[in-house]
Amino acid sequence: MSDIVLKSEDINLMEHKHISKTTGKASYQQVLVEDEDTKMLVKQIIYPKGCITPWHTHNCAHGIYVLRGMLHTNLGDFDKGSFVWFKEGSKAFHGGKDEDVEVLFITNKKFDINYL
């Protein structure tokens, strides 16, 4: 696998804008890797200041590696270089509270989301 190095300026924000059907808030997402067999994925996400997902669960475990900013979650706040893992089925929220946050979002199998 080749090294993938992307920065927020590498994302054409208008092409990767994601509007939450639940909150109406925008984030910016780009899939970097998706395994054909397991459907596990790695995507780059930018949560703009004030964009925090509502409480939710996933049928997949997922980890978040912070590239820039302070990630605000139900497990605490995580700074650049931090990695936080959410177990399969755990209740969670995460996003950018006081600043834009850029992360790598990693799942262990096919991604889904169930809002509470």
Q: Model confidence over 7-53: pLDDT tens digits?
A: 556 656 557 766 766 667 778 888 888 888 888 999 999 998 998 98
With 90 as the cut, is the pLDDT of residue 104 above it?
Answer: yes
Task: Locate the domains of the chain by residue range.
Answer: 26-115
Q: pTM for the whole thing?
A: 0.81
- What's the alpha-carbon Rg for the chain, to the nearest Å? 13
Q: What percentage of the chain exceeds 90 in pLDDT? A: 47
Long-range Cβ contacts of 6-14 (<8 Å, 24+ apart): 6/30, 6/32, 6/44, 8/46, 8/68, 8/100, 8/102, 11/44, 11/46, 13/46
| CATH T-level topology, domain 26-115 | Jelly Rolls (2.60.120)
pLDDT at 81: 97
Q: Token digits for 111?
A: 């991604």
- The residues, ordered by sequence, that sit 6+ positions from 59 with a Cβ below 8 Å of its Cβ are 88, 89, 109, 110, 112, 114
Give the DSSP letter string of 17-68. Answer: EEE-TTT--EEEEEEEEE-TTT--EEEEEEE-TT-BPPSEE-SS-EEEEEEE
Q: In angstroms, how far is the first alpha carbon of the chain from the final one?
A: 37
pLDDT at 26: 76
